[in-house]
Amino acid sequence: MKITVKQLQGGECSLEVSPATLISEIKREVAEKLGIPIEEQKILLLGRTLSDEQTVESYPSIKEGTKLNLVVKKPEGLFEASVKYFKSIGMNDVQAVSAGNELLKVLEEKIYKMSWDDLDRLCYDILSEESGQSRPVSHQVESEPECEDSFTL
């Protein structure tokens, strides 16, 4: 059957699904067609979030021509992600927030100490990694210098 996934801020795509199609598979196809990462997708039907582990047939109101709504969740910032990580390793809220703030402070200090060439290489490496490309030989460094100081909490 054919369904449509419509992004609330614009964009939509049509998908061919079967009753056995998992919602997670729909998200994968949406990621391919609309370029929205799976972890940022929230698919809704009649205001209710669809579960990744469920199939299309587990939602009887999904029929030929159904329009599902796609909400794009704001990705977590570094601070939020670090606080969540610190909590997951056993820190309480106060400790996790403190460690998150310390992490941001250390990163800021490290970035301010970098040269423009270092920043250029870092940006190039990140963009290359995201696009699945490796650094050309002319940009590769024989051996990376070891960091003299490290971040500890």
All structural domains of the chain with their residue ranges = 2-72, 78-139
- Sheet strand arrangement including 2-7: 12-16, 2-7, 67-72, 41-45, 48-49
Whole-number Å distance between alpha carbons of 125 and 140:
10
The predicted-structure confidence for 23-52, as pLDDT tens digits, reads as follows 999 999 999 999 888 989 999 999 899 999
Whether this model's pTM surpasses 0.75: no
CATH-assigned architecture of domain 2-72:
Roll (3.10)
Backbone angles phi, psi at 55, to 5 degrees: -100, 165
Report the share of the chain in percent with pLDDT over 70: 87
Q: Give the per-residue pLDDT at 28.
A: 96
- More confident of the two residues 117 and 128: 117
CA–chain centroid gap for 96, Å, is 22
Whole-number Å distance between alpha carbons of 3 and 9:
18
pLDDT category at 73 given cuts 50, 70, 90 is: confident
From 9, 6, 29, select the one nearest 18 (Cα to Cα): 29
Q: Give the per-residue pLDDT at 11.
A: 86
Q: Give the per-residue pLDDT at 136.
A: 63
Quick check: 132 pLDDT over 80?
no
How would DSSP label each residue in 106-141?
HHHHHHHHS-HHHHHHHHHHHHHHHTT-PPPGGG--
Q: Give the per-residue pLDDT at 152.
A: 55
What is residue 77's DSSP assignment? P
Q: Give the per-residue pLDDT at 147.
A: 52
Quick check: 62 pLDDT over 80?
yes
Q: Give the per-residue pLDDT at 153.
A: 53
From 17, 45, 44, select the one nearest 29 (Cα to Cα): 17
Give the type of residue at 148: E
**Beta carbons of 65 and 3 less than 8 angstroms apart:** yes
**Beta carbons of 100 and 108 less than 8 angstroms apart:** no
